[in-house]
Each structure stands twice: as structure tokens, then as C-alpha cells.
């Protein structure tokens, strides 16, 4: 419930999170002799350290670890979890990231013993059910993308980019071509140039245009016999569908190059448009963005790639094939495969979640998901357009980029200030300062899984914040245990342990 808190003689409206400040570190909770497991005294004679080299032992003194009981440990981590925001606890409108709700049905299905209990070294005849699922998933992803050859192997979207670029590089080498350059727009995801550089290409960034679209004249000037791939996100990172995507593909293909579609924004066009149909030769999927796999936290990911048929023999290994002679599903390496880009087959649990999502919704449901994602984004845009600048039009796809430039010039309130203040209202902030081509950018993506009431409440919070005194907003958040930590110092000099001396 909303609360009013008197802080430095100012009334603040927000959500009461003050009880969370009581969370203490494990070291502060430690008490000598207390523990989750207490072992009896050792009844084996001490023979010294003759059984292992001296270098294998730690210092004579035991490390200073906390001594606490199990209830304290459980309560500690449960309390810590309440300090986090997630799609299960809050509206999470991160633009580009697509923080859509993860259906719990898919979580239960992915944990079935037949799937979660399988082992990477099991022979193929013992995992025919799993292989059939992934063979069907390959076919589904091929149909959705309009690109017939699919590998489920890459670990995440960024590795999918790298794997696809390595696939393209191998294809060019096989043809005896020495192509060295990868082009991308200024608004591209940062992983695009990073993947190109890792794949050994020279990175060429196009200038940022005022329209939000690729400048065809500049693209034509940059494309030549050295060009291997043009990487483009469509819809792009401004939330706009590239209206000239077919002409872009023609320019690349006429020069012998390939078009890579960054699949980060497939959430907007499922069942509506296919990259293979509008000129794409390669793409990756982000399973967490498009097919509701869990997102972030450094956990397992999946970044399947789909390519044209002539690139299929160069895909990373393994791929699932159906052997009609033996009537079995088998794992096989394509004829000119770039090899493995990770261990074993991939993150099976995440791929299963994607498979269940597609099977649950079907073709009609996938189309409706994209339609609702686009509708939600346009509705939210309409609700904030009178308080935040919308640099690139009043219509968008599944996300849009607003700007706090005007309110910054007028009141000194930045996009980061608004983002921090949203925490007091119980909302995670949208993506700020990306894409870099928009000053004071605030990139919002509500996804298809949020209700009208949630969108209206969030828009009202934005509107209230924009009307609040600048001093109040610039000091936010006011309801969290920590206000504004030094993020650079925290990254470079993290506090990894606690000792009594640190209290002073």
C-alpha cells in the first residue's frame, strides 16, 4: 500500500520497504559454536599432513566463516530475495530485454524426470523422446523465421551471434572469398560489434540518422567486396520496423554479402513477418525474450540460430536429424561444421521451456502475443507522450524510446533520476541511456503479458514523478535500504567479506 514518509521535512509518496533495512549480513548474525551441522569430535588419530603435499593445505588458521543455524540462513536469504525485483514480483518494463512473465506450467514441465534426469553421456537410443522434441523445435524455429537450417547449440543470444558469424566466415572461406568487414547501425545492440570482433571481422558502424532508420545512401557507400555481413535488428532498437529492409537486403546481396537479423525483437513479429521473407540470411533467437525462458542472473541460456539452406552445412554441431533408415533421431555434425561452441548439446531445460511455449500457444497464439505486445507498447507510449519526449514518432512496435531531455533542461531531472524514483512507487525502471543515439533515453517495453491496469498505474507513476519537485526526485530512492551506491566503486572494489574491523 502507498505510504507517506517524512524525510528531511519532505513528504514522499511510495511503497513501504523500510522493514527490509533490517536484513543483516551472515557475519553479523554469526555466533561462536552455532551451526547448521555440528560434527562430533574426530575419533581418527591425527597423522599429520603426510598424506598430501604441504602446498595443498590452507593456512593453519581456519577461515573466518559465519557460524549460524539453519533457520537463520533460510530467513536471511528469503529476506534478501525481497530486496530484488523480478517479473514475479513487479512490473519490469526493461526495453530491449523483454522481461516477459515466465509461465509456471513451463517450469513444471521442464522439471519432469524424463527431461531433468537425463545425462549428457546417455546413448541416443535412451533419449529418443528428448531428441524428438528438439527435432520438432528446430522445425518450428525454421518455420517462424523462414530460414530452413537451425542449430539449437549456442548458449545465449550473444553466442548465437558469434556462432552465426563464424558460420558465415566458414562459408566465405569455403568459397575462396576473403571478406573482412561487418557493418551495423549506430543503434545496434553492443553485442553485435563485440561478436563481429570476436569472429575476426573489422567492425564498421554506420552514422546515426535523425529518422531512426538505416541511411540507405551511407550503407551503399560502405558496402563493397570486403563486406561479409550487415547486422541489423528488425524491429530496430528504437522500436521501429525498418521500412526499407528489403532494399537493404538487396544492397548486401548485390555485393555478395549476407544479412544478419538480430532476433532480440522477434517478440514483435511472431507470425506476422519472417526474417527469411524480408531478406535475412541468418538470425538468432533469444529464448528468454521470445519464448519465456528465465532471464538473467548469469544462469543458463539458449540462443538457437537459423540460416539459409546454403549455410546449413556450416552450422555448429550437433544438430538433430531423423534417420529414416533406422527410424531414430540422431545427433549429427553438419558436413562443414564450425564445430562446437559449447559443451554437449546445449541448455536442455531452457530449450524445453521454449518448446512448451510454442506448443501451448500454437501459430494463432504466437501471432496474438505479438499483436498484444505491440498494442501494449503503443498504449503506454500514448499515456506518457505528454510528459516525456518521443523523438521518433507516436507509433512503435513492441517497445519505444522516450527521452527525459526536456525535463532535464527544464528542471535538472535526468532519466536516471526518474528511474531511481520509480523504485519508491514499486516499479523497476525501464532501460535508461540506451540506445545511445537518443539523449536521456528511456526505453520501455511492457510485453504482452501485462494488463491494462498495470500499464495505467505505471504511466501515472511516470506522470507524478515528472510533476514532483526536482529536489525530491534527484534524491530518490527514499524507501530502499541503500539509496545511490557508487556503482563504479562497487564493481571495482567489491566487499567480499566482513570482519569486526569493518564496523569501525
pLDDT-wise least confident of 15-29, 233-247, 347-361, 417-431: 15-29
Does the domain made of 104-361 have the CATH classification 3.40.50.300? no
Flag whether pLDDT at 54 surpasses 90: no
CATH fold label, 365-489: 3.90.1150
Cell 540460430 sits on residue: 305
In the chain, list all ranges with CATH 3.40.640.10: 104-361
Flag whether pLDDT at 476 surpasses 90: yes
Instruction: Residue 98: count other Cβ atoms within 10 Å of its Cβ.
Output: 24
Q: Residue 348 to residues 34, 97, 111, 154, 283: CA-CA distances in angstroms?
A: 40, 22, 11, 11, 20
In the chain, list all ranges with CATH 3.90.1150.10: 365-489
Flag whether pLDDT at 2 surpasses 50: no
Average pLDDT, stretch 330-348?
Answer: 92
Reported as a pLDDT band with limits 50, 70 and 90, residue 43 is confident
Query: What are 236-268's pLDDT values in tens digits?
Result: 999 999 999 999 999 999 999 999 999 999 999
Helix (H) or strand (E) holding 354: helix 348-384
Can you give the pLDDT at residue 328? 97
pLDDT-wise least confident of 42-56, 326-340, 388-402: 42-56
354: left (phi over 0), alpha (psi -120 to 50) or beta: alpha
Q: Percent of the chain having pLDDT more than 90?
A: 68
What's the pTM value of the predicted model, to 2 decimals?
0.87
Query: What are 301-336's pLDDT values in tens digits?
Result: 899 999 999 999 999 999 999 999 999 999 999 999
Flag whether pLDDT at 10 surpasses 60: no
Amino acid at each position: 500500500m502507498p505510504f507517506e514518509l517524512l524525510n528531511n521535512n519532505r513528504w514522499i509518496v511510495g511503497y513501504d520497504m523500510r522493514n527490509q533495512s533490517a536484513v543483516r549480513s551472515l557475519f553479523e548474525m554469526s555466533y561462536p559454536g552455532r551451526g547448521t551441522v555440528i560434527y562430533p569430535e574426530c575419533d581418527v588419530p591425527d597423522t599429520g599432513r603426510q598424506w598430501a603435499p604441504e602446498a595443498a593445505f590452507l593456512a593453519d588458521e581456519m577461515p573466518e566463516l559465519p557460524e549460524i543455524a539453519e533457520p537463520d540462513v533460510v530467513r536471511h536469504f528469503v529476506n534478501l530475495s525481497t530486496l530484488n525485483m523480478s517479473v514475479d514480483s513487479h512490473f519490469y518494463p526493461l526495453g530491449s530485454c523483454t522481461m516477459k512473465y515466465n509461465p509456471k506450467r513451463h517450469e513444471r514441465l521442464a522439471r519432469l524426470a524424463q527431461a531433468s534426469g537425463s545425462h549428457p553421456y546417455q546413448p541416443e537410443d535412451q533419449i529418443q523422446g528428448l531428441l524428438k522434441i528438439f527435432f520438432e523445435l528446430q522445425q518450428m524455429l525454421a518455420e517462424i523465421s523462414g530460414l530452413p537450417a537451425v542449430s539449437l547449440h549456442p548458449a545465449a543470444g550473444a553466442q548465437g551471434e558469434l556462432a552465426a558469424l563464424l558460420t558465415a566466415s566458414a562459408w566465405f572461406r569455403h568459397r575462396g572469398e576473403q571478406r573482412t568487414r561487418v557493418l551495423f547501425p549506430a543503434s545496434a545492440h553492443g553485442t553485435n560489434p563485440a561478436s563481429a570482433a570476436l569472429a575476426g571481422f573489422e567492425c564498421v558502424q554506420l552514422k546515426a540518422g535523425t529518422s531512426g532508420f538505416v541511411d540507405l545512401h551511407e550503407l551503399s557507400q560502405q558496402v563493397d567486396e570486403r563486406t561479409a555481413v550487415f547486422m541489423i535488428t528488425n524491429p530496430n532498437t528504437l522500436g521501429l520496423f525498418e521500412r526499407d529492409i528489403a532494399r537493404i537486403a538487396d544492397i548486401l546481396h548485390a555485393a555478395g554479402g549476407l544479412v544478419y537479423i538480430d532476433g532480440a525483437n522477434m517478440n514483435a513479429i511472431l507470425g506476422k513477418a519472417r526474417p527469411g521473407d524480408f531478406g535475412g540470411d541468418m538470425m538468432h533467437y533469444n529464448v528468454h525474450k521470445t519464448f519465456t525462458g528465465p532471464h538473467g542472473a548469469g544462469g543458463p541460456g539458449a540462443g538457437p540460430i537459423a540460416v539459409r539452406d546454403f549455410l546449413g552445412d556450416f552450422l555448429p554441431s550437433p544438430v538433430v536429424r531423423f534417420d529414416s533408415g533406422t527410424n531414430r533421431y540422431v545427433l549429427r555434425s553438419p558436413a562443414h561444421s564450425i564445430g562446437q561452441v559449447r559443451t554437449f548439446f546445449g541448455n536442455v531445460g531452457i530449450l524445453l521451456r521454449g518448446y512448451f511455449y510454442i506448443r501451448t500457444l500454437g501459430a494463432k497464439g504466437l501471432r496474438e502475443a505479438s499483436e498484444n505486445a505491440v498494442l501494449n507498447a503503443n498504449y503506454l507510449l500514448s499515456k506518457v507522450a505528454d510528459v516525456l519526449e518521443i523523438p521518433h514518432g507516436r507509433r512503435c512496435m513492441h517497445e519505444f524510446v522516450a527521452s527525459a531531455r526536456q525535463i532535464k533542461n527544464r528542471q535538472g531531472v535526468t532519466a536516471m533520476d526518474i528511474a531511481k524514483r520509480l523504485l519508491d512507487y514499486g516499479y523497476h525502471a525501464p532501460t535508461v541511456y540506451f540506445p545511445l543515439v537518443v539523449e536521456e533515453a528511456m526505453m520501455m517495453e511492457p510485453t504482452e503479458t501485462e494488463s491494462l491496469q498495470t500499464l495505467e498505474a505505471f504511466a501515472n507513476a511516470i506522470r507524478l514523478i515528472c510533476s514532483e519537485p526536482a529536489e525530491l526526485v534527484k534524491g530518490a530512492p527514499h524507501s530502499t535500504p541503500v539509496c545511490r551506491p557508487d556503482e563504479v566503486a562497487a564493481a571495482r572494489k567489491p566487499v567480499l567479506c566482513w570482519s569486526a574491523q569493518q564496523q569501525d
